[in-house]
């Protein structure tokens, strides 16, 4: 590789591409859903996550029912929606209402729901 006399880096074309030198491939720039955007699917998920457990069901049965309803909702998501939600959860921004609602769940339940988001994408890919 030749060296550019005015710069200390090689003159390889890939090195000077804006995405390689300006850091434009960060999560924020390629993520299809920004933290402020909320689709109908995300609103429905947030509503289920924030819904109070019915007193008549009791704690365990009420949370199990809510988890089943969330699983049914996730099964209807397009793979891109599931991926966008996973990315928002991975980013874990404290200003994101979806993230706040999700983190109110106990860790085992959070993991199962997160795994269902991933399974949604895999199921569609295999079909």
pLDDT along the chain (127 residues), means of 10: 49 42 40 48 91 87 93 89 90 90 92 92 59
pLDDT at 70: 94
Q: How far is CA 3 from CA 14, 15, 16, in A?
A: 14, 12, 12
pTM: 0.64
Chain centroid to CA 125: 18
pLDDT at 79: 86
**26 vs 31: CA distance, rounded Å:** 9
Query: 48 near 70, Cβ under 8 Å?
Result: yes
pLDDT at 16: 41
pLDDT at 55: 83
- Name the residue ranges covered by the structural domains of the chain: 38-126
pLDDT at 56: 87
pLDDT at 77: 86
pLDDT at 64: 92
**127 vs 115: CA distance, rounded Å:** 18
């Amino acid at each position: 590789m030749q060296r550019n006399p005015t710069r200390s880096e090689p003159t390889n074309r890939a090195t000077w591409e804006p995405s390689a030198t300006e850091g434009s491939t960060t999560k924020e720039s390629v993520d299809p859903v920004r933290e402020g955007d909320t689709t109908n699917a995300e609103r429905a998920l947030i509503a289920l996550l924030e819904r109070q457990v019915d007193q008549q069901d009791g704690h365990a049965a009420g949370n199990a029912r809510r988890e089943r309803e969330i699983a049914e909702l996730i099964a209807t998501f397009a793979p891109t929606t599931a991926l966008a939600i996973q990315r928002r959860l991975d980013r874990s921004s404290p200003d994101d209402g979806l993230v706040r609602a999700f983190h109110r769940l106990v860790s085992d339940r959070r993991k199962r729901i997160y795994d269902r988001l991933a399974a949604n994408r895999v199921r569609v890919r295999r079909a």
